[in-house]
Every structure is written in structure tokens, then in C-alpha cells.
Chain A
Amino acid sequence: MKALQNLFDKLKPNFEKGGKWEKFYTLYEGHRTIAFAPDITTKAKGSQIKDAVDLKRVMITVVIAMIPALLFGIFNVGFQHFLAVGEEATFLDQVLFGAMAVVPTLIVSYAIGLLTEFTFCVIRNHPISEGFLVTGMLIALVMPPYIPLWQVALATIFAVVIGKEVFGGTGMNILNVALTARAFLYFAYPAQISGDQVWTYLGDKAAVDGFSGATALSVAFQAGQSGEAVTTALAAHNSAIGDSLYSFANMFLGFIPGSIGETSVLMILLGAAVLVGTGVASWKIIVSGFAGTYIMGLIMNAFAVNEFMAMPAHYHLVMGGVAFGIVFMATDPVSAAQTESGKWLYGLLIGFLTVIIRVTNPAYPEGIMLAVLLMNVFAPLIDFYVVKANKKRRLQRATV
């Protein structure tokens, strides 16, 4: 490692004041601190020792938590493909096929995102921060399996610039950056990110008879429109290809069409276990998010006027991106509510809104994205009232 350190040392003068790449000092420093934890020591006054954890560590933990979902996503993309075209394929075939689809998305999202980030760091001369480690992965995981790569690139640039850098960079953003990317695509290129055709890649092959490519949610939505019981519709769908494609178990395990990382609730819960176990994500948001979804599902059942509303409440938990959104998006510490009691309300409302948007939005049967974004905007308001309550307590006990 000495050699690498020497290399950095050798390059250093070029980046320092007066050096020929002076402007790029932040890039030099950024890369050096990735390779080596820096040699900064504590100040003469104040805490003389510091906790061994830093932001990089926190961020990489989130990335690790997403790996099960990513791996399953890679497999599932291949699995869905071969299912749709009606071909037999080995596990390895499925994984390889999936990797060919997913890995480029991942590379584009990271490469373009980091490039944008670096550009801003150089222009503003602020340190490279590690926030994009997580964002890059998140963006890839919320994309449909076969999204044009230029759209991924465009969405990433939009998210980093408009979602984050205009607010001052990592830690200052109001909206979840990855969801900003997805929302951008949803509104700018609706054809490529909604409807039935984008969730399974057919390639140059034709689908088997009866294949629709619909996500579980859109099946449920259609059922709601036509007045057929959702569970029956999902079951009927099953018979078209293979058996029980949309069974509850399948939806929980993730063998269904959907965005790359969002289909497997099991894998997401594995990630949640890592996040909660390490204390990186707030368990309060996760618990209250799921609770809110379920409770609003029950309320919808009680007032059901169509079959979608009458869908069993627990189905909401495994369909679409609810689990992914709650575990990885809602818990983003920057855009979420930051007070401990605020977090309960924040998660609960995300759950509520998700189901409300799902069952009442006539155009698009998924609500988690908009629910999280909306609550991102309201999080400071929730915190404001929590802080106000604290001040009030403080004032009340005053005797003068």
C-alpha cells in the first residue's frame, strides 16, 4: 500500500495551490480518501477521540443492504424473460441474461451520476461526498428492466442537479434524489416507464399466447375497473403462463414482473434487517410505513366501492414497490422527518398515501413514489410541529 500512498504523494503537488491541476484538488482528495481513511486528527480542544464510523461507512452499509435485492433483480429479469417467451432456461442462463440487462443500467447510473457530482465538486470546490454511492444503486433498482440507457443517464443528471446540487449537495436536499430520477422519467417519458410493455424484456422473440406483461398492480387495477374480484383476476392470470405467477407467495418472493429491485419483498426485508440491525435506517419509519399501508388497506376494504378497493389489505404490502419504497426510499435520513416522533407520523402517512394514490389514481396504479415524494415535502412541516412541541414543553415549565 506504500506504493499507492507514494503515488498519491507524488501527484499531490500538481493539485495543490499553484499546481497545474489546482482546480481539481477536490477530485484528488476524494480519491485519496476512498483509498485511505484520511490522517486527520482531532483538534486541540473538544473531543480528542472520534467514533470510528463515518459517512462513507454509513453509505456503504446501505449499498450492502441493497445487494440481495440487486442480485435477485438480476436473476428475475432473466427469469421473466424466459417465462414470457416460453423457453426453458437454466439458472445460469437466466442470471446471465438478467445481468446483461441490469449491469449496463447500473454502470450508466453510477458513471453519469458520479460525473455530474464531480463536475459540481470541481466547480464549487467542495469535497466529494459519498451520498451518490447509495443514490446510484437506488436509481438502477427502481428502473424497469429494459429502460433505454440514455433515459437513465438523463434522469440521473436531472436528479443530481435538480434534486440535490441546487440545494447545496449531499445532506441539503429536500427530495429523495433517486425518486427524483424516477419521477422525472415518469413524467417525461411515461411510455417507457408505465403500461404493461416495459416490465418484461422480450428482445427479438415473441411472447407466448396469453402473455400480457402486466405487473400485479395493473392486473388488480384492471380487475377493479371491470368489477372482477382482484384475487380471482390474479389467479386467472396465473393460468396463462406457468402456474400461480401472481400468487401471494410469488409476489412475496418476487417472481413477478416489476422494476429491477422492487419485486422481491423477501430480499428487501433482508436488506431492511441489515439497515435496522446496523442502526443506519430508522426502524420507526419502516414499521410505521408498513403499518400505514396495511391500515389504509383495511380502511379501503371497509369503504370499498370497487374490487380494487376490496383487495385484501395484505396484498398491498407485497405488490408493486411498497416494500422497496418504505425500506430504501422513505428511510433516507436527509429527506425524511428527522425528529424521532416525527418519524412515526412520516412513515404512517407514506403508507396511507401510497394506498390512497394506488386505488384512486385513474391513470397509474402505483402510489409509493408519489407518496414518498409528497411526504419528503411535508417532512419539514412534521418536524416543525415536533420541535414546536418541544419548545412549548420548555416554556411551560418556566416559572418566570
Chain B
Amino acid sequence: MSKLVKLKKGFDIKLAGKAEKQIEAFQPAQTFAIKPTDFVGMQRPKVLIKEGDTVKAGTPILFDKKLEKVLYAAPVSGEIVEIKRGEKRKLLEIRIMADKEVSYETFDKFSDSDLKSLSKEQATAQMLKGGVWPQIIQRPFGIVANPDEEPKAIYISGFDSHPLAPDYGVLLKGQEKFFQAGISILQKLTSGQVHLNLDAQSEVSPAYAGVQGVQVNKFEGPHPAGNVGVQIHHIDPINKGDLVWTVNPYGVVQIGKLFLDGILDASKLVAITGSEVNKAAYVKTYTGANVSTFVRGNLKSEHVRVISGNVLTGEKIASDGYVGYYHHHITVIPEGDYEEFLGWIKPTTSKLSFSKALGLFSFLNKGEFKVDTNTHGEERPFVVSGVFEKVLPMDILPTYLFKAIISEDFDEMEELGLYEIIEEDVALCEFVDPSKNDLQEIVRNGIELLMYS
């Protein structure tokens, strides 16, 4: 049964610097990196190559000793130029200097009809070998899925409602065939449904139009309507003991390509956005691209923060850093390390706020906001009640959940719904919190407490 869910709670952050729907010919990135830190929950990464080795796209370069079957593969072909480690030899980055022309490892190729007869074991084996398995994320906890387990259902959020998020219509253009193939593979992995959740407010993009074998659900409302966690909550909530998997549409396409073309195609479109870039557009590159060629020389001002991902859940990277494994999006906004005279009391319409306490007249400002990284205040205890509830469209009491995590009360955490959320689901809470607490970090701490206890 197709479902239409209307969400009222939430908040659309209107930022300046949306990417134009065109592919800009930026200088191609020279180096690419796989960052083990992108894979939440990776415990003991083990490197399979040495500096100086040459790899092809799809060559395994890394695995996690906790989950040995899952191989992490090189996105492009080239030479391993650096294996960067941090404190206590923590593995930070594996950098690859890319060849001009990407050469691929070859895997088994299947035709459409072959796909149908493929067994679950064969499909899993090919996905593990081909390096696409990390695209599958497990809930609860938001970590890379374990191939030995079977989920109750698989969820795909077909749209991204984050601020300045790339348009999946652009990202998936021309990939219809691969998307369908990916779905066919995913179907084998679960005895339950594969859910594809779409935005009810915009037209269905061609990549999703004729998809077979999925349960289509529609969601309407402000961000976080596009968050897969919110969608699962409204379709079939996760309880203790449940296991579901989620895949990003790009991941589905990548899986499809592995089976139809027999290669790991890590090429992707990345949206370059934000108020501080001159040309906000899409660029064609590969997973883990170095951003310097897209960012340097494309800046309106010097003092900026480059974010891999969106402004709510992304991560700060250097202006010559690397795009995160799961990201299709770079945001560049001004750094906000300045003091503002009486900034907390001045009436204004130019600042972005969910709260009307900041100038009753901010509704006059209908335009797009230029927001910097200033926190606009210091950390305080939870004083104002009810704000989190207004932006979290789930039957969860966020304040109590956060307090349970802070006090490390395991029973409360479980009972109040920590199985249902990961960081991105509380990102808006973190944004609107007048007490400036790091709620995403709190949630991750809670998840780790539950996982490793």
C-alpha cells in the first residue's frame, strides 16, 4: 500500500547559494581519498595496500577487522600517494593520485534476465567484492550493514530536504537502468519490502518513474521530511531487536552498475553550493574527490569554511580537503569568528532563526539567508522547553531522550527511542537549540553506549 505522509513539524532553512542545475567544467580533481572516518562505527581499519602501489577503480584497499567481509575499494585508478595517519596511528586518509583515464577492475557482468535468477548469496558476494557494500547502512545505529544479517526492510529516501541539498533529478539523470538493476539486487537481500520514499511536493524524477519492485511512499512537509529516519518512523518504526537497512539512491545506482557493467563506477555529481562560491553548480567527479579545484578560485571571500555535505550534518574540511564518501555536496559559507556588539539584543531581520524571539519581524525577510558558522551564543543547560519537539516530526520526546543519554540511563535511552534516530535526525534540534548544545554528538555517544554495552 502506497502511503502519503504529511509532516507539519520541521523547518526549511533557506540559504543563499543553491546550485544551478547544470554541470560546470571545473578543473578535474587530481587526488582522491578514502577516509575511514567517514564510516561511522569502523573500529580497526586494516589497509591492504602500500604507499606507491597502483590500484584500479574497484581494487580493495581497506577493510574493518570488525566486519572483515566488507571491502572498501579504490574509487579511481592510480597510485597510492599517501596513507595519512593521525594520533596513535589512527588511519585518517588513503590518498590516490588518479590516472588520466580510469581503468577498472572487472567483475561478473549480468544481463537483466540474469539478475532475476541471481541468488542472494551470489549477489552479496559480488557486492562485497566489488566494494559497493558500504553503501548499505544499517539502522539502528547508522553503521555499515553486516552482510550476514537480514533486514526486515530496506528504505531508500528518494529526495534530500537538507539546506542547499543537490537535486536527485540531476544526480540520477540517465541512470534509470542502473537504478532499476540496483533495486532488483536489493530485493534479494530482504524478505520484506524495499521502500522508495518520494517527495510529494515535486514531480517524480525520471529515475524513479517506472521503477518496479518497490513500495513507493510519499512524504510532504518541511525538512527533515527527506530524512530516511523520519520516513521509517512513519512507515514502520524500528523497535528493539529490529533491523532495517537504508541506501542512498546514488548507492542503488552504483550497485546496479556493478552488476550490469561489471565495474565499480564511483563517478558522481557533486553540488558545489553556498553563499561564498562564485559558481554554484554541479561538477562531475568521483567519490572522495579533492575539492581544491572546485573551491579555490571559485570563492567570493577568503575567510570561509568548506563543508563536505550540508550545513546541518556535514563536516568541516580544509579548502584542499576531500569530499566525504557518502556526500554529493559541498557547502562553502563564511567563517563566523567575530564578535558582534550587542549582537544578542539588536532587532534584526537579516539573521536566520526558527524562533520568532529574534525580531518579530523576521518573517518580512522572505529571501535567502547568508549564514556563517558563528554559534550566536554559548553553551547553556536546557532551559527552553518545546523547541526540539517543533522540529522533530516523530513521536519521540527529544529533550528526555537527550537527558537520558547525558545521564547514561540505558533503559531510558532504549525506551525513549534511540533505536530510531541517528545524528542527522536531531540535526535540526541542534540548529534551533537556544542553549547551543551539541546534540548530534550526544546522540552518537548514546548510540555507542548502546552498541558496545
A-side residues, CB < 8 A to B, are 1, 4-5, 33-58, 60-61, 127, 129, 131, 168-172, 277-280, 282, 333-334, 336, 338-340, 343, 383, 386-387, 390-391, 393-395, 397-400
Contact = CB atoms under 8 A, between A and B. Distances in A.
B208 to A, nearest CB: 29
With most chain B CB atoms within 10 A of its CB, the pick from A131, A280, A387, A395 is: A387
B41 interface: no
B342 A51 contact: no
Contact of B436 (A36, A50, A279, A399): A50
A153 B242 CA distance: 58
Given A35-B341, A36-B341, A54 B378 contact: yes
Contact of B311 (A5, A47, A131, A172): A47
A48 B436 CA distance: 12
A57 B339 contact: no
Contact of B395 (A38, A40, A129, A390): A390
7 contacts: A38-B377, A48-B307, A48-B316, A49-B311, A56-B345, A58-B434, A169-B381
B434 A57 contact: yes
Interface string B310-327: 011111100000000000
A5 B431 contact: no
Contacts of A36: 339-343
Given A49-B312, A56-B345, 4 more contacts: A41-B337, A50-B433, A58-B355, A339-B397
A333 B242 CA distance: 36
Contacts of A38: 339, 375, 377-378
A395 B415 contact: yes
A71 B430 CA distance: 37
A320 B353 CA distance: 37
For chain B, give the interface size range.
35 or more
Interface in B385-441: 385-386, 389, 395-397, 399-400, 415-417, 423, 427, 430-436, 438-441
Contact of B373 (A42, A53, A390): A42
Interface of B: 13, 237, 239-242, 305, 307, 311-316, 331, 333, 335-345, 348, 351-358, 360, 371-378, 380-386, 389, 395-397, 399-400, 415-417, 423, 427, 430-436, 438-441
A304 to B, nearest CB: 38
A40 B400 CA distance: 27
B392 to A, nearest CB: 12
Contact of B371 (A39, A49, A397): A49
A41 B336 contact: yes
Given A50-B374, A280-B357, A387-B416, A400 B380 contact: no
A39 B400 contact: no
Given A48-B307, A56-B345, A39 B339 contact: yes
Nearest to A275: B357
B342 A56 contact: no
A365 B399 CA distance: 38
A398 B389 CA distance: 23
A336 B383 CA distance: 11
Contact of B333 (A37, A48, A279, A386): A48
B376 A48 contact: no
A56 B376 CA distance: 10
Nearest to A282: B386
Nearest to A47: B430
B374 A127 contact: no
With most chain B CB atoms within 10 A of its CB, the pick from A33, A38, A42 is: A42
A34 B344 CA distance: 8
Contacts of A393: 395
A35 B13 CA distance: 28
With most chain B CB atoms within 10 A of its CB, the pick from A1, A56, A170 is: A56
Contact of B357 (A34, A58, A172): A58
Given A1-B341, A52-B351, A391-B415, A41 B423 contact: no
Contact of B431 (A47, A170, A338): A47
A143 B138 CA distance: 59
Given A54-B436, A58-B357, A41 B378 contact: no
B376 A51 contact: yes
Contact of B312 (A1, A47, A170): A47
B337 A170 contact: no
A41 B373 contact: yes
A60 B345 CA distance: 7
Nearest to B374: A41
Contacts of A45: 315-316, 440-441
Contacts of B385: 282, 333, 336, 338
Contacts of A338: 385-386, 399
Contacts of A398: 239-241
A35 B346 CA distance: 11
B416 A397 contact: no
A357 to B, nearest CB: 26
A51 B331 contact: no
B344 A43 contact: no
B341 A171 contact: no
Nearest to B420: A394
A36 B397 CA distance: 34
A400 B240 contact: yes
A-B interface, 9 closest residue pairs, ranked by CB to CB distance from nearest: A54-B377, A37-B343, A171-B381, A52-B351, A36-B339, A398-B239, A338-B385, A44-B316, A53-B355
B431 A279 contact: no
B383 A171 contact: yes
Contacts of A333: 383-386
Given A46-B440, A46-B441, A60-B345, A334 B315 contact: no
Contacts of A4: 341
B92 to A, nearest CB: 13
A127 B399 CA distance: 22
B375 A40 contact: yes
Contacts of A33: 344, 378
Contact of A48 (B241, B331, B415): B331
B12 to A, nearest CB: 14
Nearest to A33: B378
A204 to B, nearest CB: 42
B446 to A, nearest CB: 14
Nearest to B377: A54
Nearest to B435: A55
Nearest to B340: A37
Contacts of B441: 43, 45-46
B311 A53 contact: no
A46 B422 CA distance: 12
Nearest to B237: A397
With most chain B CB atoms within 10 A of its CB, the pick from A41, A169, A334, A343 is: A41
B438 A48 contact: no
Given A41-B336, A54-B376, A394-B415, A49 B315 contact: no
B317 to A, nearest CB: 9
B376 A131 contact: no
A52 B386 contact: no
Nearest to B341: A1
A37 B315 contact: no
A50 B345 contact: no
A280 B399 CA distance: 17
A127 B378 contact: yes
Contact of A400 (B241, B360, B434): B241
Contact of B434 (A43, A51, A386, A394): A51
With most chain A CB atoms within 10 A of its CB, the pick from B343, B360, B389 is: B343
A398 B238 CA distance: 8
Contacts of A168: 381
A48 B312 contact: yes
